[in-house]
Amino acid sequence: MAAQLTFLLLLAMLSALVTQILGSGVFELELHEFKNFKGLLANGELCRPECRTFFRVCLKNYQAIVSPGDCIFGTAVTPVLGTNSFRVGAGSLSTPVRLPFSFGWPGSFSLIIEAWYSPVDSNKPDLKISSFAIQRQLEVGAEWSQDVQSGQQTELRYSYRFICNENYYGDSCSKICTPRDDRFGHYTCNPDGQLSCLPGWKGEYCEEPICLKGCSETNANCSKPGECVCREGWQGTFCMECKKHPICKHGTCQQPGQCNCKEGWGGLFCDQDLNFCTHHKPCKNGATCMNTGQGSYTCTCLPGYTGVNCELEIRQCDSNPCRNRGHCTELDNGYMCTCLPGFEGTHCEHNLLTCADMPCFQGGKCHEKDNGRSYSCDCPRGYTGLNCEKRVDKCTTLPCANGGACVVLGGVRMCSCRTGFTGQRCEININKCASNPCANGGTCHDRISDYVCSCPPGYGGRNCNQLISPCPAHLCLNSGSCASVPSGTPACFCPSGFMGPRCEYIAVTLPVLPPPENQDGFQWAAVSLAVGLVALLVLLCMVVIALRHIHRQYNTERTQADAMNNLSDTQRDNLIPTSQLKNTNKKMGLEVDCGPDKTNYIHKNYHLDYNSSKDFIEPPSQEDKSHNYEKCLEDKIPLSRMYSEKPECRISTICSPRDSMYQSVFVIAEERSECVIATEV
């Protein structure tokens, strides 16, 4: 319980602190009239010449007894407003004294107003005339609070108020409200800081538009006031009407996409007329209509009519019953033929003309028939008909074959043949291959109006006159050349060292073996053997190289180890002190390169001169060799000259156990690594 009380207390303090921090307003003070009845200072002295008066204002927190101290709410100083007694007008102080707040107004305050004398001489200090202190409760508002303060010799009339800055509202000016009219809100602010939506808007921040009155809330929406935008599947002013299926013809809907057929209609999309007779009345001329379902019907026609809808009147003259160009007339119960002169009968089938009437035209000859009741005409060439009244078409008796057309030129009929045909009636097919149009041995095939060439391998084109390479791109590898063999297929000719259909294998020389019975099997066996031998050879080479590398590494390590051992033993046994180095009767030359500019040991040859007057040294005998070797072992002859000249080098000698005329000398550096190994000859 104590923890909850503590939490609530902290929450209240935090709320009060936030309220003060977020507040924003201004305390305004208007000075109206000041009276200094005797023109005296606070100490009783007289102002000279007059009391030039200005005011200091101090605003602080509420105190029961107002005491001097920090003006925590603000302070201000006015200019000189008048002398002695005066009224503050627009010319003296055009605006009130303003003390801005950056925190919430606490509702109460303490105010100290001091009147001061400002001497004309700026070097003199300001002197106090009088002081007034008040404490008040003050609500936020635009109305001024009037007040009068009187002292022993002064009086001050003034008014004050506290107002909120723009966009700040509430009892402490701590509520912020900024009017706006954009996509984030459409509102103004009430005097208490509450949002007031603009007309046509609603919601917590007035961001929701109010749709058209009567607009369906479920079937529509809007993005601005007074709008009614239908959702998919709905229509109408208020979006209350559903949209039926797009191809529904005679139907309605209760929900979008439905197709409920009206009476007399059926089918999935209400496009089948179940009562076609009533809806359309298709039968004409008094016929009786009968529905047969699925939008179909039948018409029962009255006598004298026919057709699907009985729309056609039956006319017997339509069958042309009257002959010899007689005229047919429809009657209620049939028809009647009106014959031309010279003909008679129901259908004008009887000819009443005779040869005496000279019926034949174009000079035709008349012959009587049926005992003079009829006749016939022998027409001249080019005419025909009962009375030779028709001109004969010359092309009628000359049919042209193979699509030829008959034409008459200068009174002569002839056939105009299609390409590839000739003859009087275009009956002859011209052989297009007679001129041998196919080159390079191509075979010609005659067609109705053209020819086709079958080209040999390597040639193409209409007349086989274009050379075609049988080799596709990149067929042969390893610089092999491609050419066509007599069979017409491409083949690769491989360079030396390659083989295979595409020169893709490396050729290996093998012993010549007698050809097997199956040549193809032998070739593949030879190729497989060659590949196996090459792989085996490569494997052996790799093994040999690996063994040599291991053997060489082993010898190197062993040589280094032996050299280190020999060096240590030799240095101990063969070090010759300076006192033992001496020259024999043999002239020995030994040169050792030692110096700071030498980085490697340099091997040089030196001469042993047995006769001082000779430049040539004869080879010593076998006995001399043995003697020298033994003497070397006994005396270990030093090289004092070199040691004395190169004090920084230590000299040791190793006598060769072999019978040789050579003696090796090793110069070992004690301090520097640039001494040279020299051998003695």
pLDDT recorded at residue 484: 65
Phi/psi at 591 (5° precision)? -120, 130
φ, ψ (nearest 5 deg) of residue 519: -65, -40
Question: What spatial distance separates the first Cα and last Cα of the chain, rounded to whole Å?
Answer: 115
Mean pLDDT over the full length of the chain: 75
In this prediction, residue 514 carries a pLDDT of 55
CA 431 – CA 422 distance, rounded (Å): 11
What are the distances in angstroms from CA 482 to CA 408, 466, 504?
Answer: 64, 19, 13
Distance CA 56, CA 80 (A): 11
How far apart are alpha carbons 603 and 614 in whole angstroms? 25
CATH topology of domain 433-467: Laminin (2.10.25)
Residue range 554-581: mean pLDDT, rounded: 52
Provide CATH code, domain 355-392.
2.10.25.10
Calculate mean pLDDT across residues 290-300.
81
Write down the pLDDT at residue 486: 60
Coil, strand, or helix at residue 29? strand
pLDDT, tens digit (0-9, with 9 covering 90-100), for 467-507? 877 677 667 887 787 876 665 567 788 888 888 888 888 87
pLDDT the model gives residue 295: 67
Q: Where are the domains of the chain?
A: 19-176, 316-351, 355-392, 433-467, 566-680
Question: Residue 172 has what pLDDT?
Answer: 86
pTM of the predicted model as reported, rounded to 2 decimal places: 0.35
Cα separation, 559 vs 551, whole angstroms: 12
Nearest alpha-carbon partner for 332 in 305, 301, 304: 304
Candidate ranges 218-222, 343-347, 615-619, 627-631; pick with highest mean pLDDT: 218-222
> What confidence score (pLDDT) does residue 564 get?
54
Mark 40-62 as b/e (b = at least 16 C-beta within 10 Å): bbbeeeebeeebbbbbbbbbbee
Same topology, domains 316-351 and 433-467? Answer is yes
CATH number of 19-176: 2.60.40.3510
CA distance 679 to 619: 17
Tell me the per-residue pLDDT of 611-637, one tens digit each, with 9 for 90 and over: 333 333 344 444 444 444 444 334 443
Position 325 pLDDT exceeds 60? yes
What's the token pair of residue 544? 């040999």
Pairing of strands 678-680, 605-606: parallel
pLDDT exceeds cutoff 50 at 345: yes
- Which range of 220-234, 499-513, 647-661 scores highest in mean pLDDT? It is 220-234
pLDDT at position 520? 57
Long-range contacts of 149-156 (CB under 8 A, 24+ apart): 149/113, 153/36, 153/37, 153/38, 153/40, 154/34, 154/35, 154/36, 154/37, 154/115, 154/129, 154/130, 155/33, 155/34, 155/35, 155/37, 156/31, 156/33, 156/34, 156/35, 156/113, 156/115, 156/130, 156/132
- Is a pLDDT exceeding 90 seen at residue 75? yes
Of 295-299, 351-355, 540-544, 562-566, the least confident: 562-566
Identify the CA nearest to 228 among candidates 247, 205, 253, 209: 209
The residue with tokens 């800055």 is: 165
Instruction: Answer whether residue 110 shows pLDDT above 90.
Output: yes
- Dump pLDDT digits (tens) for 141-194: 889 999 999 988 899 999 999 999 888 988 888 888 889 888 888 999 888 888
331: pLDDT confidence band, cut at 50, 70 and 90? confident
Which residue type does 266 have? G
Cβ-in-10-Å burial (0-12, 13-18, 19+) of 476 comes to buried
Identify the band that residue 23 occupies on the pLDDT scale cut at 50, 70 and 90.
Answer: low
Q: Which CATH architecture has domain 316-351?
A: Ribbon (2.10)
